[in-house]
A and B are shown apart, each in its own frame.
Chain A
Amino acid sequence: MNDFRFALRQLRKSPGFTALAIITLALGIGVNSAIFALVNGVVLRPMVPLRPAEVVNIFTARQNTNHDYRQFSHTEYRDLRENGGDLFTHLAALEFAVAGIGRDHEMRRSFAFLTSENFFSLMGVQPLRGRFYTAEECRPNANVSVVVASYAFWKRMGGRNDFVGSNLQINGQPYTVIGITPDGFSGVSALVAPDIWLPLGVHSHLGSAFADSESLHDLAEPKNYALNLTARLRPGLTIETAKARVAPLTQRFNAIQPSNAEGARDLQLHEPSRFSISTSPEDDGPVTLIGTLLMGMAGAVLLIASLNLANMLLARGTARSKEIALRLAVGASRWRIVRQLLCEGLLLAICGGLVGLVISVWCNDLLLHSLARLLGSTSFSFVVKLRPDLTVLGVTFLFCLIATLLFSLGPALKATRADLVSDLKQQIGEPARIGRFNRFFAARHISVMAQIALSFMLLFSAGLFFRGALKASGLNPGFVAAGDLVTEMDFSLIKKDPAEARRLIFEAVRRARDLPGVRTAALGTMLPYGNFTNSRRIMSMRETLPSDPKAPDPGAGALFTATTPGYFDAIGVKLLRGRDFTQAEAETKNTPRVAIIDDEMAKKIFPNMEAVGQHIRYTQPPKDGSPNDLLVVGVVSGHRHDVQNDTLNRRLFVPLAQGYNGNVYLHVRLATKDRRAVAAFIPTMRQTLRTIDPDLPILSIEPFVDLTEKSVGLWIVRLGALLFGVFGAIALLLAVVGVYGVKAYAVACRTREIGIRMALGAHRRDIFALIMRQGAIQTALAVTIGLLFSLAAGRVLARILYQVSPSDPFALVISGALLTAAAMLACFFPARRATHVEPLKALRTE
């Protein structure tokens, strides 16, 4: 404690140094604690309240090479639940749905989970208020209109005490709120949470938004595969041991399959994904990798900050060596003095850590804000919390300790190793036995070179991400977003009769088209760069379905969009060959089945052939029994669905009547491409739609360019650029300050030498060159080492880079040049100061 009091006095004695040290540390530690809070919130924090390791997701896939997954029927679920006792203590069923909550204009499309009653006990949560639903309420077709609200939703609705027991309008029907889940409970997802939880029994009542709205509604129907399964393993079982014991259950599962099933199926156990809500297993690896990389980069920043501070302390140690020698001379043990110096270091680190923590909280708030704005238009509630909890505080303290050891142990040991005799009769200037080589590789120069090398690596990484972000922004999506005003409506939310809904849709298209200033209007069921994806697998009629169930699936996967005539004009895609759909095809189901594909798809399934006039079919026949034979009437130019490249990119279009689902996007192409003019058209658009039917389920009206800007893929690429850019900027700043500090100190130490050289006839330019030359050689060496670091970092980053080579020469040259210029600039001022040394004064300091 005494040590600390003395340390405090020491630090107060030199406020300039203390402030600089604290800022340096605050940057280094702040970055780390911000990133750690992010990683903790997203990757580490356990989501399942009770023994999370026991919770697994169960999937079923055909035993062929494609592993095509499907969900489970309620019959299958019941059977597995009854017979899985060897493996599970609980088996819960879960259906993902989207529901419109509220009335008319206040309607919000929300994420909803339909679950079996045991889902909550499986997860180990108790209701915060009220109760969860019962087994009876979860029986298929029970249709008891009760709902459990999430904590966040309850708060958003005003957090009233009488909320439980009140009525909630869901998809146009009244539901009674019976309970509220605890704060932060989101099932297994670490990112997004549903607003409401519903008993499985309301399935048919609600309609499912992920399936065709006209598909089966009866949960008891054996071929209605709508359920995802989550289980809690028996105590003592791990996911690996459980996998080894799943065979009997698999056998049973295959035994209850209907006779016309397409081959044997597997039951698979997977760790639940924290990041995606999906009906097939998802790999969390990439996100975890990104987290690890971010921590690594943040660690490099902390290392730079620590090296920087170590240099400051080395310089201070030299200045204090007389004091230290005196203490040693009067009998203080070396350990005591080291302890004293470490105390000073720790005190600095903790002050820096506190400031850093404030910075990190502030930064993360900004980040969350940006995320919330991005997701505001979608149906998800965001659950990531980045407020520092005990873990974050603890880890930040750990960073402080690490930093202290990094920056103050070395200088402390060096300061106390001092030669007593020579320090007591301390000569200013250089110690006696030192060569040029030794000086070049003095600890402070090594440290500054390491800083430059690490900064190079961080700058280069930032450069790679910036290149990616630029590419992503400048990407030609293949459609023309400018001038297109998009209205999203979801008829499944108001439970309109499909025929009536279609009538309204066509009315809306017709009215929109007639508005002044509108070139054309049309509608599609999926939005490029949107957040939802529908896909179907199709094949040429010329091919036959393979009889071997283990054979790979034929044909190709396609992004599936149902459209009205004029859709391609409206979004700015070219019709290359053939024709568009006719109004009759779009409006009535009984016309001959036709399809339009894009040229990517045409090349894939009709290589060396004219696709127009060919016939195609779905590999999975339509569930409603409609004919599975489509005539290709047109081929359009390809266009992107996402910023990311690895997603599906071939397309299939059918007339609206043949692929209607409640969620539609009305594209209105205006005569102008100016974003503001397009935005100014929104009130007209809203007014027009209102006059058709005041209850139209309008979710949003926005210029298409705004929607593409909100693309999650784009946001991620830009976030990467931002994060790495911040790292790079901090690293550059610290390195420049470091170089400057060391050079300024070196010049101060060499004042006498400079005086001698001047007395011997050195010109100012000789002195300037002397200092700059050393800086240049050190920078060159450091940049060379940094180049190696950078290439290594690029290789590690390769997996998450966006269309940039991991050794992108442009980024390499720019970051290298930037760093070299900055380092030389940092040398420039001390070098110039050196030329102003007065030889007489320098020589007099004896």
Chain B
Amino acid sequence: MQQMITTSLTSNQPAQTSATNGSTPLIRLTDLSKIFITDEVETHAVSGVHLDVRDGEYVSIAGPSGCGKTTLLSILGLLDTPSEGSYELKGTEVANLSFADRARIRNREIGFIFQSFNLIGDLTVYENVELPLTYRGSSANERKSAVMGALERVGMIHRARHLPGQLSGGQQQRVAVARALAGKPAILLADEPTGNLDSRNGEAVMDLLKELHGAGATICMVTHDERFARHAERAVHLLDGQIVEDRLAA
């Protein structure tokens, strides 16, 4: 099964052409639930979610705090496993894979952008961006061109030798975006990417995501800022772990 994913990935590019293609969606969640059990209290963080995401879509997920946005995104990013239901990625069931298989898929198909950047302080900008590539055994040359390409796209090439601590928040988040891009993943997952930024830097990062989408990237972004939600072409609203609204932007 994982072999299929790997082979289908070799030709993978966030393809622009398949966006309107009516065949298999990139992501298909069917009756997906996540239940946390702590101290005998069951929290239904996500319950009975159906969601299809097509190649090249830009989906924003919004909703009040605690409604299950991050949980949903973690499941999409294979950081977490659903309690029930099915998750098909590129037509392959991935809900119950082993740790190693999930790690491999995360590395190849998913690009994460976190609220708190999550760059590694010891590593330079270049090394941070290179990180996902080192875990897939690309050659040094491949890595170099991929890293430089990604940094180029976020306009951070001049800071390649810097340490994250020497950059502003907005710059750090751009580096984080570059890191998410560098591996050419099938989908970018962003959890409140502007949450730790002032509005001007926030705008800049949103513009960058929009630009990437324009170039064909598939993006799922969690935000509770209405202004930013409008950047996406499709808005999903969550409430108590359930999708209460799913509409295409005007």
Contact = CB atoms under 8 A, between A and B. Distances in A.
Nearest to A427: B116
A761 B106 contact: yes
A433 B165 CA distance: 5
B100 interface: yes
A434 interface: yes
10 contacts: A429-B121, A431-B121, A434-B121, A436-B123, A757-B131, A759-B118, A760-B132, A761-B106, A763-B100, A846-B116
B121 A759 contact: no
B74 interface: yes
B121 A758 contact: no
B121 A764 contact: no
Contacts of A757: 120, 131, 135
Interface residues of A, number: 25
B79 A762 contact: no
Contacts of B114: 843
Contact of B121 (A430, A761, A763, A843): A430
B79 A761 contact: no
Interface in A728-785: 752-753, 756-764, 766
A431 B122 CA distance: 10
A762 B103 contact: yes
B163 interface: yes
Interface centre among A431, A756, A766 (most CB of B within 10 A): A756
A229 B37 CA distance: 92
Given A430-B121, A434-B165, A840 B80 contact: yes
A432 interface: yes
A518 B190 CA distance: 96
A66 to B, nearest CB: 71
Interface in B105-147: 106-108, 112, 114-116, 118, 120-123, 131-132, 135-136
A753 B118 CA distance: 8
A248 interface: no
A436 B161 CA distance: 13
B104 A761 contact: yes
A766 B77 CA distance: 20
Given A753-B120, A843-B114, A846-B116, A760 B77 contact: no
A538 B181 CA distance: 95
Interface string A414-430: 00000000000000011
Contact of A763 (B103, B122, B164, B183): B103
A839 B79 contact: yes
Interface in A703-741: none
A56 to B, nearest CB: 67
A761 B80 contact: no
B54 interface: no
A74 B94 CA distance: 107
Contact of B122 (A436, A762, A764, A846): A436
A113 B80 CA distance: 89
B195 to A, nearest CB: 10
A629 to B, nearest CB: 89
B163 A759 contact: no
Given A761-B103, A766-B135, A435 B112 contact: no
A439 interface: yes
B151 to A, nearest CB: 16
Interface in A820-844: 839-840, 843
B74 A762 contact: no
B158 to A, nearest CB: 19
Contact of B74 (A432, A756, A840): A840
Interface of B: 74, 77, 79-80, 99-100, 103-104, 106-108, 112, 114-116, 118, 120-123, 131-132, 135-136, 163-166, 179, 183
Given A760-B107, A761-B108, A432 B80 contact: no
A433 B135 contact: no
Given A439-B122, A763-B103, A433 B166 contact: yes
A434 B164 CA distance: 9
Contacts of A761: 103-104, 106-108, 132, 135-136, 183
A760 B122 contact: no
Contacts of B120: 753, 756-757
A429 B108 CA distance: 27
Contacts of A433: 121, 163, 165-166
A756 B165 CA distance: 17
A658 to B, nearest CB: 85
Contacts of A436: 122-123
Contact of A759 (B112, B165, B166): B112
A430 to B, nearest CB: 4
Q: Which 4 A-B pairs have the closest CB atoms?
A: A761-B107, A432-B165, A436-B122, A433-B165
A757 B74 CA distance: 15
Contacts of B80: 840
Given A433-B165, A434-B165, A762 B121 contact: no
Nearest to A439: B122
Contact of A434 (B104, B108, B122, B179): B122
Contacts of A439: 122
A764 B100 CA distance: 8
A211 to B, nearest CB: 80
Most buried by B among A430, A439, A761: A761
Interface in A789-846: 839-840, 843, 846
Contacts of B183: 761
B118 A430 contact: no
Given A759-B112, A762-B107, A843-B118, 8 more contacts: A432-B121, A433-B166, A757-B131, A762-B103, A763-B103, A763-B135, A764-B99, A840-B79
Given A430-B122, A432-B121, A762 B135 contact: yes
B177 to A, nearest CB: 14
A533 B121 CA distance: 73
A759 B121 CA distance: 16
A98 B183 CA distance: 92
A764 B79 CA distance: 14
A434 B124 CA distance: 10
A230 to B, nearest CB: 71
B106 A760 contact: yes
Contact of A756 (B103, B107, B118): B118
Contacts of A760: 106-107, 112, 131-132, 135, 179
A435 B122 contact: yes
Contacts of B164: 432
A677 to B, nearest CB: 67
Interface string A478-503: 00000000000000000000000000
Contacts of A840: 74, 79-80
